[in-house]
Structure 1
Amino acid sequence: MFKIIMSPYRRLVLVATTLLCLLLFIFINHKANGDNMPATSARVAQLFTKTKTICVGRFLIDVPQEAEVVYGPTYLPWPITAYPGKGESIDMVVAERLSELDAEKAWASGPLLDNDSSVGKIVNGAMPNQKIVFGVSKGSSRIYRIDSYIRVNDDLFIQRADPISSKKDAAVRELNVIAESLRSRGELEIPTQPGVCIEAGFVSDHTMPSHEALNIGVRLFEFPDVHLALSVTKKNAFVESDALEPRLRQAEEMASRSGNTAWYSRIKTLRRGRREIGKWHGFEMLARKPAQAEEGASHEFVFVSQGEPKNPLLPVLELEFHTGVKENRIGGTNPSVSDDEAVAIWDLLTGSIRVRPTSAQ
């Protein structure tokens, strides 16, 4: 018999959701009796009546059922991109890549021209449906571009490494390790073994990557102009510039120097200060920005925690929340939510972020 273990933060979100649903019930009841009641709480309650749990990296987040989740750049430790449902196209994609190699050979220089150079070669990877192609990086004629093409069931994954010549073999080993550890995953599947969720896939902890970075965007169907971006990055050292507070002070100083003090002074701060999300200790800034000449008013919320170096379960966590987004342009339309609604949505989304439970914990 399975016992469901729920973290205190998950319980908090559950309680909050229950209270919001209760508010929705009260709102509907009041409307039925002809009472006049603001719809703010009711709209947020309705939004979170049904949610789905998304796995990103080693973490989970609860989002509204109809929300669209878009996966951004993923690094394990090299960038890897998923092409769901494109597994059958692997031969065609590899052939297209091979057709580019003659031009790249002419671009190669230094060690990539040596007799033992791999430029132009294609080899089998560690897995039956994996091919590795060696070319030349666009960034430097002395650096390899190594593409690993992996078919997993109906899906295609492409991972690209750009090592210097002396690190070529090490990069190939890293690409093979990921290919060996990779399997397909449905959008709502929550794996129980240790590892990393990526778009359409899961990479088990065969060998922990030296670098992990994952990004997702959440777009709300009910409020299309409201976007949340989540980024987790495992770093090997504490990077002081990651902190949010110095960046805010710098922005204030730049506004003063550039003559934008009047506009900056009209920014409405909704919340600013220290905050904890799960085990992350960080700093957040919640503000409503006034309109500018070429940009309308919008909400901009940010949270940053510097995490703990080398700890995959406590990476750098960065969260950004915007309203008024249209065609990926902030301030392209009027915000569809009030200040209170924006804060409530932000709290419910960010408050649900937690470490994914695994069999190793």
Structure 2
Amino acid sequence: MNKNMDTNNETPVRTFCTGRFLIDLPAGSQLSGGNYQYAFARIEAPKTMGKDDFEKEVLARATYLRTTQHDSGAPMLIDIIRPDHDSAILVSWNHDASTVVMSMTGYRWTEGRSFSFSMKVDDDHHSEGLDAMRQLLFNLRYRPEDDIPTEPGYCFEGGFIANPEWENEEAGIDIDIAGHPDAFVSVWFYPLAMSKHDRPLLDRMGDVLQMLGRMATSVHVLRRGDRQVGPYKGQEFLVSAPNSGGLRGHSFIWETEGEGTLDTPALKIELTTGHRDKNGNPQQTRLTDEQAMKLWDEVLDSFRLRPIRAVPASLTPT
């Protein structure tokens, strides 16, 4: 079920699902880009195509790898596995001089769309990599843009991987905000805590202002401090400043460093206004500071773990 209306103020919203999280933006907002990784596999955006074209695409890639020579004189292609009629896994050397690292690419066709996943494994973990890829392809399904699954698993653009167990999961997405052509929201999550050399957000931003020196007078700090979003304790830093075209815009950031576990990842959410248009022209934001902060609060407060129904014991992996 998709959340189309905020029951408190009747403001229409669109809910976006990324990984195991949800975030609400004004209705009509559109996903404009994303990078996804699941269980160490990189996920490509699905492509619309028929089954015959899917088979031709897999065959073309296999033929290329079979006819490309490894430095040893053998083909780059190591193996082709067909887990089922609609799936294929190609195993090849990572590059023509590789002797240890292999590349695995998994393909699946479902509901008129072709999905592909790629990962690198060394030869000592060949069988584990194949098992992981088979499971990923088996658990995959097509997901319409506004479908919010109620079962546990990982959302990505156009797809869903059902799995009650958290894997090594990460993503970064950009969402263009409806009604504000100069504004977008970015959401990132990382599987474990941010690198230990990174200091908390407010410390780093304070150093940036010091480095700017006199230029810092053009940066207006609107709000800064600790902020908890749901169960996630983090910090926010909100400024208004000139953009690259000299026009004023906003840069709002909230992040939490995570607790070093898969289900308590590092998270970062940003709101940017005044960015360039599709032709690269600078834009003046239409939002006042107060309007931008109100939008920020509504978006940030909507971020949450996706609610799920209970998983029957018979479906829980052993």
Q: TM-score, normalised by structure 1?
A: 0.75
Would the aligned equivalents of 1:131 and 1:148 in 2 still touch at CA under 8 Å?
A: yes
Structure 1 residue 320 corresponds to structure 2 residue 270: yes
Residues 344, 97 of structure 1: CA spacing in aligned structure 2 closer, same or farther, 3 A cutoff?
A: same
* 1:297 Cα offset (Å): 2.8
**In structure 1, what residue type is equivalent to 2:236?**
E
Which moves more between the two structures, 139-148 or 182-191?
A: 139-148
- Kindly indicate whether the alpha-carbon contact (under 8 Å) linking 1:295 and 1:330 is maintained by their aligned counterparts in 2: no
Contact 1:87–1:154 (8 Å) recurs in 2:
yes
Matches of 1:69 and 1:301, distance apart in 2: 19
Distance 1:305 1:126 in 2: 40
| 1:346 Cα offset (Å) | 1.1
Aligned length: 306
Q: Give the counterpart letter for 2:257 in structure 1.
A: Q
Provide the residue aligned with 2:315 in structure 1: none
Q: 1:279 to 1:331 in 2, by over 3 A?
A: farther
Percentage identity across paired residues of the two chains: 23
1:141-187 per-residue CA deviation (whole Å, 9 max, x = no partner) reads 34222111111222211100112222222222111111111111121
Alpha carbons of structure 1 residues 91 and 121: separation in structure 2 relative to 1, 3 Å = farther
Match 1:297 to one of 248, 273, 291 = 248
Do the aligned partners of 2:66 and 2:75 also contact (CA within 8 Å) in 1? Answer: no
Aligned residue number for residue 182 of structure 1:
140
- Aligned with 2:225 (options 238, 253, 273): 273
- Are 2:48 and 1:85 aligned? yes
Structure 1 residue 103: Cα displacement: 6.8
The alignment partner of 1:126 has SS state of: coil
TM-score when normalising by structure 2: 0.85
SS of alignment partner, residue 231 of structure 1 = strand
Cα pair 1:52 1:63 within 8 Å, conserved: yes
Change (3 A) 1:175 1:14: same
The answer for the alignment partner of 2:127 in structure 1 is 169
Partner of 1:52 in structure 2?
14
Question: Compared with structure 1, are the counterparts of its residues 14 and 240 closer, same or farther at alpha carbon in structure 2 (3 Å cutoff)?
Answer: farther
Per the alignment, residue 188 of structure 2 pairs with 231
Task: Say what the alpha-carbon RMSD is for the aligned residues.
Answer: 3.0
* CA distance 1:243–1:94, change in 2 (3 Å): farther
Structure 2 Cα separation of the partners of residues 187 and 161 of structure 1? 25
Distance of 1:104 and 1:118 partners within structure 2: 6
Shift of 1:295: 5.0
**In 1, distance between residues paired with 2:103 and 2:246?**
40
Q: What CA distance in whole angstroms lies between the structure 1 residues aligned with 2:163 and 2:75?
A: 29
Displacement of 1:135:
2.5
User: Which residue number corresponds to residue 35 of structure 1?
Assistant: none
CA apart distance, 1:136: 3.1
2-structure distance, mates of 1:328, 1:252: 30
State the Cα deviation string for residues 196-241 of structure 1 (Å, max 9, x = none): 11222211116542x1002221102311110100112221787452
Structure 1 counterpart of 2:309: 359
Structure with greater Cα Rg: 1
* 1: CA distance, partners of 2:82 / 2:128: 14
Q: 2:260 aligns with which of 267, 286, 309?
A: 309
Name the residue aligned to 1:43.
Answer: none
Letter of the structure 1 residue corresponding to residue 186 of structure 2: A
Q: Which runs of 5+ in 1 are unaligned?
A: 22-48
Which of 181, 191, 216 matches 1:264? 216
The code of the aligned residue for 1:101 comes to: L
* Among candidates 330, 343, 350, match of residue 300 of structure 2: 350
SS of 1:74 mapped into structure 2: strand
State the secondary structure of the residue aligned to 2:121: coil
Equivalent positions of 1:94-113 (< 5 A) are 94-101=58-65, 104-106=68-70, 108=71
Q: Show structure 2 runs of 5+ residues with no match.
A: 312-318
Aligned partners of 1:323 and 1:330 also within 8 Å: no
Q: What is the aligned partner in structure 2 of residue 72 from structure 1?
A: 34
Counterparts of 1:217 and 1:277 in 2: how far apart (Å)?
19
- Is the contact made by 1:177 and 1:207 (CA closer than 8 Å) also made in structure 2? no
Distance 1:240 1:330 in 2: 34
Q: Tell me, in whole angstroms, the C-alpha distance in 2 between the residues paired with 1:225 and 1:71.
A: 16
What are the Cα deviations for residues 122-149 of structure 1, in whole angstroms up to 9, with x where unaligned? 4234343111112233597342221111
